[in-house]
Amino acid sequence: MEEIRELGSSREGSIHCLAIIGQIEGHQLLPEDAKTTKYEHVLPLLAAIEESSEIEGLLILLNTMGGDVEAGLAIAELIAGMKTPTVSLVLGGGHSIGVPLAVAAGRSMIAPSAAMTIHPVRINGVVIGVPQTYRYFSRIQDRIVHFVTEHSGISREEYLRLMNNTDELANDVGSVLHGQEAVQCGLIDQTGGLADALAWLHKEIDVKGER
């Protein structure tokens, strides 16, 4: 079970921390030796944070390695619908489904040395090779592209270009954006670290308290 970690209370407000790391585990269980974040644990935690009268801000630490696309998108959708001030901080790397998770927060940040990997939706294992399967994957990808472009400053055209780039990755399709590059294209709001993320949250808490 994932834990809600309280960073502490002060006159600026109480901030809680949620780490989403490794692969996002959905309905299909991953090996025991794989670092995972179980989405069925995260969803009720987010609901509890939103409902709590004591929690005034949420810091989301991201270091993802892909995983279940539907499960990751479900977490992102819930974060995007929260009224509680939220900030995401990408550390190390945000791979695949880590992109919508990052942009879902009210403010997205990335460490200058971190990177984000953008590539088309794919699946491991047995795939039924029928037209319906390919249409299904195409619709999932369209949902992700729509979500990312709706919650960030990047255009659909630019995001699709980065997703389908054939010059960046060896033996793969997609792009790797390092800290400042992710900001320059409009995908992430700003580069920053822990102090920056906390400062933004405290500012939002103050503004919300004045309303």
Q: How far apart are CA 92 and CA 112, in angstroms?
A: 9
Q: How far apart are the first and last CA of the chain?
A: 35
Place of tokens 């793969």: 172
Q: Which of 96, 108, 152, 175 is catalytic?
A: 96
Percent of the chain whose pLDDT exceeds 90: 48
Closest CA to 117 of 207, 178, 38: 178
- Rounded Cα distance, 159 and 153, in Å: 10
CB 200 within 8 A of CB 87: yes
* Dihedral, CA of residue 138, residue 42, residue 62 and residue 154, to nearest 10: 40
* Architecture of the domain spanning 5-210: Alpha-Beta Complex (3.90)
Catalytic annotation, pick one of 16, 95, 108, 119:
119
pLDDT digits (tens, 9 = 90+) for 96-154: 788 999 999 999 999 999 999 998 876 665 566 667 666 777 788 899 999 999 999 99
Query: Residue 11: is its pLDDT beyond 70?
Result: no
- Length of the chain as a residue count: 211
Note the pLDDT of residue 4: 44
**What are the pLDDT digits (tens) for 22-43?**
877 656 666 665 666 777 788 9
Cβ proximity of 98 and 62 under 8 Å: yes
Is there a catalytic annotation at residue 119? yes
96 is catalytic: yes
Q: Where are the domains of the chain?
A: 5-210
The closest of 193, 198, 188, 196 to 99, measured between CA atoms, is 188
